[in-house]
Amino acid sequence: MIAVKIGGSVITRKDTYRHFLPDICRNIVRSLFPFRDELVVLHGGGSFGHILAKEANLPADLNERTKRYFSRIHNDVLLLNSKINDIMAEEGFNPVSIPTSLFFGEKGLNVRPYRKFLESGFNPVGMGDIVLSGKTVKIISADDIMLKLSKEFNPRLVIFFTDVDGIYSDDPKKNPEARLLPTIDSDINFKAVQNDVTGGMKHKYEIIKKISHHADRITVINGKYPERLKDLGSERFIGTVIENGR
């Protein structure tokens, strides 16, 4: 199985509410065509999720205010999901939406729908979403779901498409001296970068460390240049590769 996370940062304009970037999404989808027989896709919320989620100040108790946010955010991430699924269907995939909030219960996310549709030759498409956990409303990110799926399915490859070239020695948007790290291959190297990873990448980085025990290979790549995927494994590849750390 191959699992892909399409960052909301790359297929939406993060500062403009519900602004989708269809051409970038289509290019990413096309780059995945060789994997379509064993592919699971997850996507972030981007400006279909993050803007309202920030405003809602989650996690928070379930009440009239958070219920309204729940409905709107869940609806918005499904809207983004259907745009992605449309493109996937047009490009020859068999996408099936797995809405996270519907399959989230006391034991966390139920992965059975992923297994069922994957075994039948579909491409399950899950998403970062708002969920109800007891009486608490909170966000489950697509990065979190990636860890859960990796534990269950031991993917041979996990791909994170994001809006920068990979994992850097520091935030490349803030520090022009930041260096792209082509590989992070052991615990020692993980420790070496730990202190300089911030923001959205910090959580992803922590998750990747954990996923590295369950997947053969993980890569972080710029979704604006998905054709780089073809070079994976060669000297020319531009991105970060993390090999299995079992």
Contact set with ligand ATP (CB under 6 A): 7-10, 44-46, 142, 162-164, 167-168, 170-173, 196-201, 204
| Partner from Mg ion, ligand ATP, none contacting 210, C-beta within 5 to 8 A by type | none
Burial 92-121 (b: 16+ CB within 10 A, else e): ebbbbbbbbbebbeeeebebebbbebbeee
| Partner from Mg ion, ligand ATP, none contacting 240, C-beta within 5 to 8 A by type | none
Least distance from ligand ATP to the Cβ atom of residue 10, Å: 6
| Partner from Mg ion, ligand ATP, none contacting 196, C-beta within 5 to 8 A by type | ligand ATP
| Partner from Mg ion, ligand ATP, none contacting 156, C-beta within 5 to 8 A by type | none
Amino acid at 89: A
| Partner from Mg ion, ligand ATP, none contacting 46, C-beta within 5 to 8 A by type | ligand ATP
DSSP three-state, residue 190: helix
Q: How many CB atoms lie within 10 A of CB 35?
A: 19
Among residues 40, 35, 45, the alpha carbon closest in space to that of 13 is found at 45
Task: Report if residue 223 touches Mg ion, rule: CB under 5 A.
Answer: no
Q: Which two tokens stand for residue 210?
A: 């954990």
Letters for 141-180 (x = contact with Mg ion by CB under 5 A, - = none) are: ----------------------------------------
Least distance from ligand ATP to the Cβ atom of residue 44, Å: 2
**Is 215 in contact with 150 (CB distance < 8 Å)?**
yes
**Which of 124, 200, 226, 239: binder of Mg ion (CB under 5 A)?**
200
Which position's Cβ is nearest Mg ion? 200
The DSSP code sequence of 70-95 is: HHHHHHHHHHHHHHHHHHHHHTT--E
